[in-house]
Every structure is written in C-alpha cells, then in structure tokens.
C-alpha cells in the first residue's frame, strides 16, 4: 500500500487509497495538510496477481505456495471474525464485526506515514479579520512610559559597577601594602614528630564513598528494561511476527543476524512455516507501538491473531 493505491486480497476485498485535499479549518485557524486515507471495498475480490507476486518475491514462494498462503489466511480471517469479532491486518488497521453481522474496516491513523505527503504538517494561519481584531485590542490597551525607568535603571547599573570597581581597588591596595610575616618556628626537622590522623576527614571520606555506592545501587535498580521484556511474549491473542522462515537453517541465520532479539524470539507454527514473534498482547495498539524498538529492516511487522 506504500507503492500502490489498490491492493486486492482474493476472495476477501480490496484496500484502496483515497486522497483528501488540503483544507482550511476556519474555527481553529488551521490549514490542514493533504491526506492519503486507506479504505476497503469488499466487492473487489478478483485476483489481479499483485499480492501473489509480492509474496513470491519477498518470501521466496512459488505461485502455488503463495496462493495457498492467501487462501489459508482468508479462511483464518473468517473464522476469527466469527469467534472474536476482530481481525488485525498489520499497520493498515483491523476488521471488526458488528452486532448486525456486518464487517467494518477501521484504518490506523499512522498507516499513511510513508506516503507522498510525509513531512507535511498542519499550519496555523489566522485570517485578516482576526488579525485586525487583535491589533485593535492591542491599540486600545495603554502602553506604559518606559523612558524614565530605562534611564534610571541604566544609572543604577552604572553606579553599582563603579562601586564594585572601587571595592576591588581598595582590596588590592590593602593586600599589596600590608607586609606578610612568615613564621619559620615550625620548620621541618630530621625527626619529625608523629601526629594522629585527622579522624573527621576520614569519616567524611567514608560517608562520601557510602553515598556513591548508594547512588550506583539506585541507578542499577532503575535501569530500564527492553520494551519487549515489559510487554512479554507469553500471553495475548495478538502475535508480533517479525519473520517467516521455512526451516531450521533459515531460523539460525535469522537469529545470527538479529542476535539482540534472540532472548525474546518464539516460534509459531503456521501451515508448515515457522513464524518468529517477539511479543504478545491482547491490545493491538500496544504491539504497533513496539515497532520503533525494532531494527529498520524489521519494522514492516505482521500482527497475527
């Protein structure tokens, strides 16, 4: 959907990109950016080959395997809608079944962040009438006379600087004119007397060391854990799938490439394929928010349920 305006899932329906032009919201004085919104049309179910060839290219499947994968996914969608009334389709959004058994598609707000309008933002633009009204209100309010306070403040500042300079000069004169008496009665000898150590200084050093140890211990206790560790991968009917592999050899290669994620990886067997997931949750949005924690090449995740 980032490169095409229409993607058909055979026997299920088509995702279609709808474009909205920029418009001015007069109530909030905001010029809203153009938008690309993803919609769904359940009437378009023919196989145009786009999704099949995408699976063949990305997953290394042949045509028959790709078609079987799509057919199994559609059957799973229908079964899940009947059981849980909700089906996730990754970053695009999710399907839900209402009480009258109709199916509704709910798009996610961030599904179009990579469209051609990426980087544009809404702009605050005030109308001429509003600007004139604000100017009129500002003209009615009295302006304080700032001339006298500025001059007086400047004089006070100069006087303070002059007094400080005089104080510094007097201090230098006293220091230079006063003789320094050196008492040499306490000269070092060949047999210096042994004096007791200053216990107060040692106690302060020990206390400072204790404080440092306490601070380090607190820092270790509040050290943040990985977001995947906080969410967990043991419970929840939504799975955050980051890869699909066919055998143990491909799985080992994937683990070696993304070794930092190995502690959170678990395997979900699906129609002879091994789906690697790193988190589970009953909340769809929680898993979508974890995308930023993944390497860039893995952020095109699959939310399976």
**Could you give the angle at which helices 50-59 and 63-84 cross, rounded to 10 degrees?**
110
Query: Which of 179-188, 216-225, 242-251 holds the top average pLDDT?
Result: 242-251
Count Cβ atoms within 10 A of the Cβ of residue 271 and give its class: 0-12 exposed, 13-18 middle, 19 or more buried: exposed
Topology of domain 227-304, CATH: Alpha-Beta Plaits (3.30.70)
Give pLDDT, residue 174: 58
Average pLDDT over every residue of 38-47: 89
What does each C-alpha distance from 241 to 142, 207, 210, 217, 259 come to in angstroms?
A: 65, 52, 47, 36, 16
Ranges 3-12, 74-83, 118-127, 271-280: which has the least confidence: 118-127
Number of CB atoms found within 10 A of residue 300's CB: 13
Q: With H, G, I as helix, E, B as strand and everything else as coil, classify residue 131.
A: helix
Query: Which of 46-50, 221-225, 299-303 holds the top average pLDDT?
Result: 46-50
Residue 201 pLDDT > 70, yes or no? Answer: no
Number of CB atoms found within 10 A of residue 303's CB: 20
All CATH 3.30.70 domain ranges of the chain, comma separated, are 227-304
* Residue whose C-alpha is closest to residue 303's, from 289, 287, 290, 292: 287
Helices (H), 30-105: 50-59, 63-84
Average pLDDT over every residue of 17-29: 84
**Helices (H), strands (E): how many in the chain?**
8, 13
Query: How far apart, in whole angstroms, are the C-alpha atoms of residue 292 and residue 294?
Result: 5
Residue 98 pLDDT > 80, yes or no? Answer: no
Task: Provide the percentage of residues in the chain whose pLDDT is more than 90.
Answer: 15
């Amino acid at each position: 959907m980032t490169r095409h305006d229409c993607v058909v899932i055979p026997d299920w329906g088509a995702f279609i990109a709808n474009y909205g032009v920029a418009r001015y919201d007069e109530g909030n004085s905001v010029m809203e950016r153009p938008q690309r919104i993803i919609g769904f049309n359940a009437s378009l179910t023919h196989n145009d080959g786009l999704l099949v060839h995408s699976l063949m290219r990305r997953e290394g499947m042949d045509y028959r395997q790709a078609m079987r994968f799509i057919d199994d996914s559609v059957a799973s969608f229908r079964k899940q809608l009947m059981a849980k009334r909700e089906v996730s389709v990754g970053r695009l959004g999710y399907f839900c079944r209402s009480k009258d058994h109709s199916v509704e598609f709910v798009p996610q707000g961030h599904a179009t962040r990579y469209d051609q309008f990426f980087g544009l933002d809404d702009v605050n633009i005030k109308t001429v009438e509003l600007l004139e009204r604000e100017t009129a209100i500002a003209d009615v309010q009295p302006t304080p006379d700032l001339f006298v306070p500025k001059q007086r403040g400047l004089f006070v500042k100069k006087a303070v600087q002059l007094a400080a300079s005089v104080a510094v000069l007097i201090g230098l004169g006293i220091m230079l004119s006063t003789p320094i008496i050196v008492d040499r009665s306490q000269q070092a000898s060949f047999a210096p007397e042994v004096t007791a150590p200053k216990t107060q200084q040692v106690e302060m050093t020990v206390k400072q060391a204790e404080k440092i140890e306490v601070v380090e211990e607190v820092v270790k206790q509040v050290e943040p854990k990985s977001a995947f560790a906080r969410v967990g991968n043991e419970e929840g009917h939504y799975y955050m799938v980051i890869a699909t592999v066919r055998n143990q050899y491909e799985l080992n290669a994937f683990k070696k490439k993304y070794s930092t994620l190995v502690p959170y990886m678990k395997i979900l067997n699906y129609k002879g394929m091994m789906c690697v997931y790193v988190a589970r949750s009953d909340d769809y949005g929680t898993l979508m928010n974890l995308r930023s924690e993944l390497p860039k090449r893995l952020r095109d995740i699959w939310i399976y349920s």
